[in-house]
Chains A and B, each alone.
Chain A
């Protein structure tokens, strides 16, 4: 009896959480997959017709938005790496006693709601706002200069919002490096640049990879930044899915687009994980 309970224990423990994930994560995916192949409209209802054209139609009409999402996502991710790495490096190696204070400061934005942070960033970038206003006043920028309603504004907002997700994993990877390895490199006559390029950088790459997964996926499917900062001319695939669902009630098309986005991102993640060794990426993502 006791042995039986021992064998059943893990299943009983996993069951409640697993059921919840099954009902509200796995089953909805199945629903969305089937809706994406239906035809119909909100009034007459949707029926299953294996209408694969939803996918090709979606790509025909909104392919450019999809490409733009991946492009903005890629740019913001690269900007995050470039901005995060030096800071993570300095904190990990030179932060001394104040390491946790610096990390705390970098995480402070998370105490403000994501949407509100984006609105606040818009406030910073407005034409007569606290940055552009003075610069124009001093004659450093022409009067008509503006940043909002541009691709740059969207990418800057995405970078701003997701930067801490890049700093943390890079910091963790750098912090883990055994200092004796670096000393050994110096003892073997490596210069500062060589130590960085051949020791520190390769050892910190798992952190960068984890950071890329944690930023690229949410960034390229975001629609808050595009809506608040980009105006009508810079919409991303997230805006399209949202509009198709809520304003046009074209559930089939929206599901097809949403599925396409997920397929691209999933294939991307798994190809990426394959190329870098599945275990590392899964582990890094699991942290």
Chain B
């Protein structure tokens, strides 16, 4: 008798395995913590500071927005970062997509080694990759600068692209491409009109990842840059003497553009999902 009574009672909480309130408050606080430094960064872009250090609030100003490009070398560094990231994205996406297709669609000798090298390149500490590149450039007397940074950025991005494309290519049905070839399409037409559209989501997320990794990279860039500056390198150098508010403004603008693009992207994906 008791068992039949307790059974439904026992079953009652099964729709709510977690009681949410406490954890919801906790998650909200965690998000707040993650966003606090960003809020401070944005705020101090409006700080009317007179000294070299931008640590204490001295009043509101738009001065730094008006004089955003006053520091020529900072602007150059930002331009370098953006162009290197763009070139990295193009090269790494092409190379990574090809490799990802091979690894996802074919079985071949050396596949294990290829996977292993990619895994090693992803899990290797940046410090080690950076210092080993420096060792090679020093030993071969290669002048370091824009091109060595680019080579390094393509190197660490290409595996990420290959893996996202591979994940997408593994699930493809080869019959669809065979059908295209049966209908008279050559290899290139088949690739352009059939294969590429099917792996496109993987290619796009790989490209985004490559851009994000490149534009934000500090450690490997620091070892391969020579005298060339990128935005993270400039910020790093400025921490010793005092980071000017222009850095906060640029950080704020990059943040705003990035978030805006992400939101547009999400909205577009949702709309497409709804219309289909």
Contacts and interface: CB of A to CB of B under 8 A. Distances in A.
Contact of A24 (B99, B135, B151): B151
Interface stretch (A50-58, A125-133, A137-145): A125-133
Given A20-B155, A24-B152, A113-B232, A93 B18 contact: yes
A16 interface: yes
Contacts of B128: 32, 221, 258-259, 261-262
A119 B98 contact: no
Interface in A59-96: 83, 86-87, 89-91, 93-94
A21 B159 contact: yes
Contact of B27 (A10, A18, A90, A287): A90
Interface stretch (B29-37, B60-68, B196-204): B29-37
A223 B218 CA distance: 10
B217 to A, nearest CB: 8
B52 interface: no
A35 B135 contact: yes
B26 A123 contact: no
A285 B122 CA distance: 9
A186 B126 contact: no
B260 to A, nearest CB: 10
A108 B239 contact: no
B181 to A, nearest CB: 10
Contacts, number: 262
A269 interface: yes
B55 interface: yes
B231 A94 contact: no
B239 A91 contact: no
Contact of B251 (A113, A121, A220): A113
Contact of B254 (A89, A108, A112): A112
B159 A111 contact: no
A89 B243 contact: no
Contact of B34 (A106, A113, A221): A106
Contacts of B38: 108-109, 112, 117, 120
